[in-house]
A and B are shown apart, each in its own frame.
Chain A
Amino acid sequence: MFQLLNTILIGITSGAIYSLMAIALVLVWRSTRVVNFAQAGQALLSTYIGFEVIQRFDSYWIALIVAIVAGAAVGALIDVLFMRFLFSRNTQGPIAGVAPIIATLGLLGLIRGGIGIFLGNTEASIRPPVSNVGFTISGHTLAFSPLKFLIVGAVIFLMLALSLIFQRTNIGLALRASAYAPEIARLAGVRVDGIRTLGWALAGAAGAAAGMLQTPNGDGGLSPDSLDFSLLLVFGFIAAVIGGLESLIGAVVGGLLLGLVLAFVLTYVSGSLVFIIAFMVLILVLLLRPSGLIGAKRGRRA
């Protein structure tokens, strides 16, 4: 009974972090139609920045805020320095759609390599800001601690805040219009280039939050070729696709679903099956609902 409850709680927490990464991927996809594989590198870089801040000021909370701001700045810089250039060179044909996506793969390598060169020798780790010792109920320890509470709360808060921005504000309308129909948006007076950069910045911020929350939830260690961040990218990507790639709520639903399934596999079947099952969930969802769980039900017209 407690094992079942703990499995669910573990699933929710790890699912929440996948959700955050999925949100970051969805944000870039929605505002620029690019699948951003560099997101893992951006998150890693932001988390390293957070780590440096902790070294100086000994405060996780300041570090979290700095890392999120830095994540936004890194995202914006990538758009201004690389993506804008790529988009202006290739405007038509199949290459125009694929080149930016391949470029993000290159960026991922570049960022990881850069971190390796400059910070590779640093022993980096982030300790949990609040206790990661599980709550106890009648002698049993739950797999849910103040830290995990913080993680789930932060993800819910960010999802709600971003959804509000997208659905209820003028900036959000400009973001959506630029994603769906850049030409019409420009004719309507939207400065599409700036709006795209904003999309990258928001995504960078969400990715940074994911990195800063994930690291202390694991063993706390941080390294340039961190497997955790690779998994974060893969699982975040699967979660985003399960959720339909278009919707923030879809990203969260996809992340939680994936987190729960993997937690059950881990507890009741075998840890070595986690990867296979993750992709099986992806294939199953795409077979049954090709546009994702929350994806648009109709194909695009016009």
Chain B
Amino acid sequence: MTLIVSDLCVDHGAIRAINRVSFRVEQGQLAAVIGANGAGKTTLLRSLSGLGHAASGHATWHDHNLLHAKPEKLVRYGVSHVCEGKSVIPELTVEENLNLGALWRKDAKEAKATRENILETFPRLGERLSQLADTLSGGERQMLAIGRALMSKPQLLLLDEPSLGLAPLVIAQIFQNIRELTDEMGLTVVLVEQNAMSALEIADIGIVLNLGRVAATNSAQQLIADPQVRAAYLGY
């Protein structure tokens, strides 16, 4: 199973936000998509999960066409998307937020096992199951958002800026969790990040977006070593 994006174009009003973007992510790989604000990272991710509409191009996961499909359908094909900004529902409890991700699943027993696994990875959530998600800290909310996505038994996980607004220590923790989950569950992950260095450190491959185009794509290590990328995106 491979994520293949080719010649993808997405418009944002009159602006071409994503312009002929192509890349591949092999199964089990963690791909970091980095780039400045406005580079089109979020737009790219939204078009892959069914939230956004592509103007042209192709994007396939396994045998499934990701473009022009509804998100609720893509979830059933194993595509889970965590939106920017801790996408949890504050009016629901932690437990309800988690269960939400598994509502469509018919395998109640397996879903329960999935939940146990998630609570092992994020024990803080287990202590707060009956609390409203509104009462969680920023880091806990991000854990819950990822946990909710995992409840849908994804194979392809799309993460939009999980580090947004979090303290450095919490970011390190969450990024470590993401890497471990990728390996343990055999996930394929597309991680969109402004925090380029942290993302590349845990990633297998990196895709650098600039003004809607792919500026560079390479293994994460080589990108970290690339003087141009370092100067432009890593800040040294």
Point out residues on A near B: beta carbons under 8 Å.
Answer: 170, 173-174, 176-177, 180-181, 183-192, 296, 298, 300-302
Contact = CB atoms under 8 A, between A and B. Distances in A.
Contacts of B82: 187
B206 interface: no
B99 interface: yes
13 contacts: A174-B103, A176-B92, A177-B92, A185-B89, A187-B149, A188-B75, A188-B149, A190-B103, A191-B72, A192-B72, A298-B134, A301-B90, A302-B85
B72 to A, nearest CB: 5
B89 to A, nearest CB: 5
A302 B86 contact: yes
Interface of B: 49-51, 70-72, 75-76, 80-83, 85-92, 96, 99-101, 103-104, 134, 148-149, 151-152
A270 B142 CA distance: 58
B59 to A, nearest CB: 17
A185 B50 CA distance: 13
Contacts of B152: 188-189
Contacts of A174: 100, 103
A33 to B, nearest CB: 13
A87 to B, nearest CB: 14
Given A184-B87, A298-B134, A190 B72 contact: yes
A173 B93 CA distance: 11
Q: Which residue of B76, B86, B89, B92 has the most chain A CB atoms within 10 A of its CB atom? A: B89
Contact of A189 (B72, B87, B89): B72
Nearest to B91: A180
A45 B148 CA distance: 42
Contacts, number: 80
A298 B49 CA distance: 32
Contacts of B99: 170, 173
A119 B100 CA distance: 46
A187 B103 CA distance: 11
Contacts of A302: 85-86, 90
A177 B90 contact: no
A92 B172 CA distance: 37
Contacts of A170: 99, 103
A188 B91 contact: no
B90 A190 contact: no
Given A189-B72, A189-B75, A192-B72, A184 B103 contact: no
B100 A185 contact: yes
Given A183-B87, A187-B83, 14 more contacts: A173-B100, A174-B100, A177-B96, A177-B100, A181-B89, A184-B100, A184-B148, A187-B71, A188-B148, A189-B72, A189-B152, A190-B104, A300-B90, A302-B85
Given A173-B99, A174-B103, A187 B51 contact: yes
Contacts of A191: 72
A188 B83 contact: no
B91 A187 contact: no
B101 A189 contact: yes
A180 B90 CA distance: 9
Given A170-B103, A298-B134, A301-B134, A187 B87 contact: yes
Nearest to A301: B90
Nearest to B50: A186
Q: Which residue of A176, A184, A186, A296 has the most chain B CB atoms within 10 A of its CB atom? A: A184
A89 B60 CA distance: 28
Nearest to B145: A184
B8 to A, nearest CB: 20
B85 A187 contact: no
A189 B83 contact: no
Contacts of A183: 51, 83, 87
Contacts of A187: 49, 51, 71-72, 75, 80-83, 87, 149
Nearest to A181: B89
Q: Which residue of A174, A177, A183, A189 has the most chain B CB atoms within 10 A of its CB atom? A: A189
Nearest to A176: B92
